Amino acid sequence: MNTEMFLVLDFGGTKLTAATVTTAVLDKGQLIWRTRKQAFSPINPSFQTDWQTMRQLADAALDGGLPVAVGVSFGGPVDFETGIVRLSHHVPGWEGVPLAQQLTDMFGVPVWVDNDANVGALGEFWFGAGKRCDSLLYVTVSTGVGGGWVINGRSWRGHERMAGEIGHMMLDPNGPPCLCGKNGCVERLASGPYMAADAMHLVQKHPEKAPVLRKMIQEHGQLNGRHIAAAAASNDPVATHLLQRSAWAIGTAIGNTANLINPKRFILGGGITKSGHIWWNKVRQAAQETALPEIHFDIIPALLGDDAPLWGAVAMCLQNK
């Protein structure tokens, strides 16, 4: 049997992953890595630390083997055609790095690089919750809110490769300021760090309305998205308000997007989507209320979890073989 191997790399926000998969396994329809190596970024990561760590991970994952193609998911905007990184959302020094060229020089094989939202969308389309679905938007709700399109089976990147920025759809012009300079963006209302910051503020202002959150702050010193979800599940009023607001923002953005593009499916992944039925019910309700009654779609959880970008990188290799 003629077995070929793909090398896939994920430059994530806090961790770096390299994995290999063989076509023999894929032909059987199995989602099994041949090897998978992961490392967390150091406290103050830079382009140099990322690149060096990833080279070591790739060597370990290849284990002496040679790939026939390399697929890369990158946590920030990338020019897909040239494989040049515009910037990393998390790590300084990546601006203008010709990532595809550097990897081509190393391995002498075709290399495909795209941003994590587009690659994650492709992963879910080929191997996960979007199989046989001709049009989908994959939305990640975690430290930020990102989106990637698959339309007619291909990534749809838009005129300037910036399509899918559902996180900066503005829902409340009078709302709190977002890092992008606007107010009341989806990401400002729905992402974990912003929810946690708002929770800290509200607990100080209305301690009597946040009995569970208060206890969590005493215990941990700070909060994250998981704490908000857990406190909401214990009926903490402030946590419930923030979690409902997060879900409302995601659902409203989905309803607006459905009106504009009419995709069949929305696939949601990322830490905040593990917040339970309070969050999911509100997302679906707000989406239905926002979309026109003639417009139908489903909203379902991602299947591949943190590995969606890696599987999407495999899909890029297969698609461009």
Q: Among the candidate windows 7-15, 184-192, 227-235, 288-296, which touches Zn ion by CB under 5 A?
A: 184-192
Secondary structure E strands in the chain: 5-11, 15-22, 35-40, 69-74, 78-79, 84-85, 111-115, 135-141, 145-151, 154-156, 265-269, 298-301
- As beta bridge partners, residue 71 has 8, 112
Out of 180, 235, 289, 321, which residue is the one contacting Zn ion (CB under 5 A)? Answer: 180
**Inter-residue contact 187 to 194 (CB < 8 Å):** yes
CB of 187 to Zn ion, least distance (A): 5
Q: Rounded to an integer, what distance in angstroms lies between the CA atom of residue 146 and that of residue 271?
A: 13
Smallest gap from residue 88 Cβ to Zn ion (A): 18
β-strand pairing of 69-74 with 111-115: parallel
C-alpha 166/C-alpha 231 separation (Å) is 27
Using the rule CB under 5 A, give the single segment among 9-17, 157-165, 172-180, 285-293 that binds Zn ion.
Answer: 172-180
Which of 168, 227, 282, 284 contacts Zn ion by CB under 5 A?
Answer: 168
For 246, phi and psi rounded to 5 degrees? -60, -50
Residue closer to Zn ion, measured from CB, 36 or 182? 182
Closest CA to 315 of 139, 83, 112, 167: 112
Let me know if 229 is exposed, middle or buried by CB neighbors in 10 A (0-12, 13-18, 19+). Answer: buried
Site string for Zn ion, 113-152 (x = CB under 5 A): ----------------------------------------
Of the candidates 259, 235, 268, the residue with the CA atom closest to the CA atom of residue 138: 268
Considering only 7-15, 136-144, 178-186, 238-246, which stretch makes contact with Zn ion by CB under 5 A?
178-186
**Stretch of residues binding Zn ion (CB under 5 A), selected from 74-82, 143-151, 182-190, 259-267:** 182-190
Residue closer to Zn ion, measured from CB, 196 or 249: 249
CB of 186 to Zn ion, least distance (A): 8
Cβ proximity to Zn ion, 171 vs 178, nearer residue: 178
Q: How far is the CB of 42 from Zn ion (least distance, A)?
A: 28
Closer residue to Zn ion (CB): 122 or 145: 145
Q: Please give the structure tokens belonging to residue 3.
A: 């077995």
Q: Which residues pair with 221 in a beta bridge?
A: none
- Per CB under 5 A, does 185 bind Zn ion? yes
If the CB atoms of residues 178 and 283 are measured against Zn ion, the closer one turns out to be 178
CB under 5 A: which stretch of 80-88, 171-179, 204-212, 222-230 binds Zn ion? Answer: 171-179
Output the smallest distance, CB 321 to Zn ion, in A.
38
Its sign, for the CA torsion 105, 108, 114, 117, is negative
Let me know: does 297 contact 266? Beta carbons within 8 Å. yes
- Number of Cβ atoms within 10 Å of the Cβ of 221: 7
Give the rounded distance of the alpha carbon of 278 from its chain centre: 21
Work out how close the CB of 185 gets to Zn ion at its nearest, in angstroms, rounded to a whole number.
3
CB of 270 to Zn ion, least distance (A): 17
CA distance 184 to 97: 33
Nearer to Zn ion, 166 or 308 (CB): 166
- Which residues sit at the interface with Zn ion, rule CB under 5 A? 168, 178, 180, 182, 185
